[in-house]
Each structure stands twice: as C-alpha cells, then as structure tokens.
Copies of this chain bind each other. A is one copy, B any other.
Amino acid sequence: MDHLPEVIQELITKSNEAKNNAFCPYSNFRVGAALLTDDGTIIQGCNVENASYTLGICAERCAIFKAVSEGYRHFKAMAISTDVEKLYSTPCGACRQIMYEFGSDMDVYMTRPDLTYIKKTPRDILCYPFGPEELRMLKSGEVPKVDGDLNDNKMVDGTGDAKAHKKHKGDTAIPAQ
C-alpha cells in the first residue's frame, strides 16, 4: 500500500478501531473516526447516542471536540469508517461544519470496510460555506478577501445554470412588493 503515506494508512486503520467504542444502542450503527493533528498525533472518536436522539454526537464531531479539548486547533487529515460494505462513509452536514471550523483544507478520507476510500476536503463537501471567516466578515461588514466563492460568478457557474448566471451578472434587483 505504498500509494498512501504510512501515517494515513494508520489513520484509516485507527478510524476502524474506533468503532469498537461506539455507543449506539438506538441505531445499532457503529461509526468510527480518526483525526491527524498538526503534530502527528492521532485522536479517535466514535458515535455516542442518547435516549433523546437529537442529543447524541457523531464520530467525526466526537474526535474533533476531543482534540480541541486537548489543545489542538489545526488538523491535517481525518478518516471515517462504518461497517457498511457498499458505501463510503460520508459525514452529515453538522460534522462538515465542525470540520470546516478547524481545518477547511484537511484531507477527509471517507472509507469503506475494504479500506478503499474517497478523499475530499471540508471545503469540497461544504461548498459556499458559512464558517468562521464568513462570520467575521458578516460582523465586520468586510468583503471576502481570499476565497472568491462567496461573491463572484463562479458560485452561479457552479450550477452550470447559464440563465441564472446571466441574471446574477446583471445583479438585477428584485423590488420589495
């Protein structure tokens, strides 16, 4: 498996091991995650469910909250695993938001039990994000600097919807009724 760095192979292996601690008596669906910090430490997380379903936590957020509580703020990569042969382990929207806060460009390995995977960044899977930078701009009233995503035509091009694009370019305003 020389196509992946050893540390990433270990990350994926540890995300599978992490499933062993999953607390999922309500869904019986185990999820594991492993997070690679900027100093090379690997931190594992799993899903932790609650009798009031909405108060549980996913494996990805568990790993990140855990790492932050240990003082880490920047991450290089995350691996996610389930027991399902047929699908890659893609994170829910809430987990994408938490990943984005701490590592919009980290490599996220969404794996299958056979250890094949899809690799994306939080920025890829939370396109047109609302994150810390956006919130800062919202509060300061600034225009975005680096990332054009939030105010250029690429956003509309993104849909390949030429008509919407043309309209957007013209910035035609819709009058309040």
Binding site for B on A (CB under 8 A): 1, 3-4, 9-10, 12-13, 16, 18, 20-21, 23, 25-27, 29, 44-46, 48-58, 61-66, 68-71, 73, 82, 84-88, 90-98, 100-101, 110, 114-121, 124-132, 134-135, 137-139, 141-144, 150-151, 155-156, 158-159, 161, 164, 167-168, 171-177
Q: Find out whether the CB atom of A53 lies under 8 angstroms from the CB atom of B53.
A: yes
User: A4's contact among B16, B50, B174, by CB below 8 Å, is which?
Assistant: B174
Partner of A52, one of B58, B62, B127, B167: B58
Asked if B66 and A46 sit within 8 Å, CB to CB, the answer is no
Distance between Cα atoms of A127 and B123 in the complex (Å): 11
Residues from chain B with Cβ under 8 Å of A121 in the complex = 159
Question: Given contacts A12-B174, A52-B97, A142-B86, is CB(A57)–CB(B57) below 8 Å?
Answer: yes
